[in-house]
Amino acid sequence: MAYRIKLENFEGPLDLLLFLIKKNEVDIYDIPIAPITRQYLEYVQLMQVLDLDFASEFILMAATLIRIKAQMLLPKPQIAEEMEEIDPRQELMARLLEYRKYKEIAHELGRRESKHRLYHPRTIAEADYFDDETGLEFGQVTLYDLLSAFNEVFRRFENQPVHQVITPRVSVDEQIKFIKAFVKDRDQISFSQLLQQVHLKTRAAVIGTLIALLELIRSKSILVKQSGPFSEIWIFNPSASN
């Protein structure tokens, strides 16, 4: 049989402290640090044991409480006697008082929320009507609205595979080097043979090779011969034939 422990849900260390102050019926302006610290630590330990969603802020407050307790135990230095004594609890007290105010306001807002959610206005499909004068009500669109709209669009595209078409680039210089290397060890080679050796079977690669060939002919690095129109073009290495 599993045990279930009902533990108050605290919004943070200040909330827990306020709860302990109320539970012990002690004065918020004169907090008995030792017993409150002890109970605070018990709660924090319990929360850890129960593996509740545990915020590091609780540990920080535990350290603060222990520091205050230590400060109060230490004998006060002699020099401080004439100066106005500063209560080590002062800062914590101020924070608790401040927090308590907002907790009260939160409570008030909660009350209003419960009350007002009982009233229902008429609802109109938003897209049916526009403000005649302004068209769209720009004033009501905030930066956050834009960001969430962007986010929405972004999410829609998130799981779609993205295809990127990369155009293979064939440079004339590369093809010149390729033809030279190919022709170097051979006496002759046909143009169709040469094209079969071109790595990329794309139109651009063929054109690049052709331009490279023309360039090589112009610089007299190779010789070409053709027996008749539309017949095979033969490429010769001039240095080899010499």
Partner 1 sequence: MKRINRIIESLLFAADGPISLKRLAQIVPDADDDQIRESIEELNNHYQDHAFGIVRIAGGFQLVTRSEYHEHIQKMYAARTRPRLSQAALEALSVIAYKQPVSRIEIEAVRGVNSDGVLGTLLERGVIEIRGRAETVGRPLLYGTTEEFLKYFGLNNQSDLPSMEEIEAMLREREEERQEEEVTDRPEPPSEDAT
Contact positions vs partner 1 (CB under 8 A): 9, 11-15, 25, 27-28, 55, 57, 61, 95, 98-110, 112-124, 126, 129, 140, 142-144, 148
The phi-psi region of residue 204 (left if phi > 0; otherwise alpha if psi is between -120 and 50; otherwise beta) is alpha
Closer CB to partner 1, 46 or 130, in the complex: 130
Query: Nearest distance from residue 18's CB to partner 1, in Å?
Result: 10
Closer CB to partner 1, 86 or 106, in the complex: 106
Query: Nearest distance from residue 69's CB to partner 1, in Å?
Result: 19
Closer CB to partner 1, 152 or 158, in the complex: 152
Query: Nearest distance from residue 50's CB to partner 1, in Å?
Result: 18
| CA–CA distance, 23 with 222 (Å, rounded to integer) | 101
8-state DSSP, 80: G
* Residue 221: closest CA among 180, 188, 189, 182: 180
189, amino acid identity: I
- What is the distance in angstroms between the CA of the first residue and the CA of the last residue of the chain? 101
Closer CB to partner 1, 109 or 204, in the complex: 109
Query: Nearest distance from residue 150's CB to partner 1, in Å?
Result: 14
* Residue 241: closest CA among 226, 223, 228: 223
Query: Nearest distance from residue 21's CB to partner 1, in Å?
Result: 11
Angle separating helix axes 13-23 and 56-73, nearest 10 degrees? 50
Closer CB to partner 1, 98 or 232, in the complex: 98
